Amino acid sequence: MNILTTKRVLLRTFNNTDIDTLYKKIFKCSEVVKYTFGNENFSYEQTKNFINKNCNFKNKIGLSIIEKKDTNEVIGLGGVLECKYLDEIDYEIGFILAKQFWKKGFAKEIGQAQIDFIKDELKAKRALALVDKNNTNSIKTIKSLGFDYFKSITTSDSRKLRDVYILNF
């Protein structure tokens, strides 16, 4: 199921054939996962378990596949996540792109579509973006989307310190 569509990419639900592709392009590349999952590469079994536990196979909310529209090539994963890092239920944008798709505007493009989805379809009053303070490229992208730094928190799921950025509508 397609969730979001932009000029060049779409966000769609997972299917089981995506596991191999994401393992090769994302999870076994330490440069790609270091700010999100830590400095270690995932094994294939860890990748499969993570995707089956955390990714979206049928809904509009959750981690989903980012795919180039012109080639149907999987370029990453991302999505809108429901979260409660602050005092209320919020929605967080997120994206992880394979290294060959960095610095081509895909993160900003899918990020803007996620913001529009949160604002227009979910009718939320704000969006969040959480990022490792050392991930300067992601920080640059979320700031260019209009987010402002709010505070640092330790998330219960990753037990890592994350900077929280907020975009109020």
**Annotated domain spans of the chain:** 2-168
Cβ 112 vs Cβ 167: under 8 Å: no
> Parallel, antiparallel, or unpaired: how do β-strands 9-12 and 2-5 relate?
antiparallel
Rg over CA atoms, the chain: 15
Answer whether CATH 3.40.640.10 is correct for domain 2-168: no
Residue scoring higher pLDDT (126 or 159): 126
122 pLDDT tier (thresholds 50, 70, 90): very high
Q: How many helices, marked H, and strands, marked E, lie in the chain?
A: 5, 8
pTM: 0.93
Rounded to an integer, the average pLDDT of 146-153 is 96
Please say if the pLDDT value at position 38 is more than 70. no
69 pLDDT tier (thresholds 50, 70, 90): very high
Rounded to an integer, the average pLDDT of 73-81 is 96
Could you tell me which residues come within 8 angstroms of residue 168 by beta carbon, excluding any fewer than 6 positions away?
125, 126
Rounded to an integer, the average pLDDT of 102-107 is 97
Please give the structure tokens belonging to residue 115.
Answer: 């913001």
What angle in degrees, to the nearest 10, is found between the helix axes of 106-116 and 136-144? 50
Please say if the pLDDT value at position 159 is more than 80. no
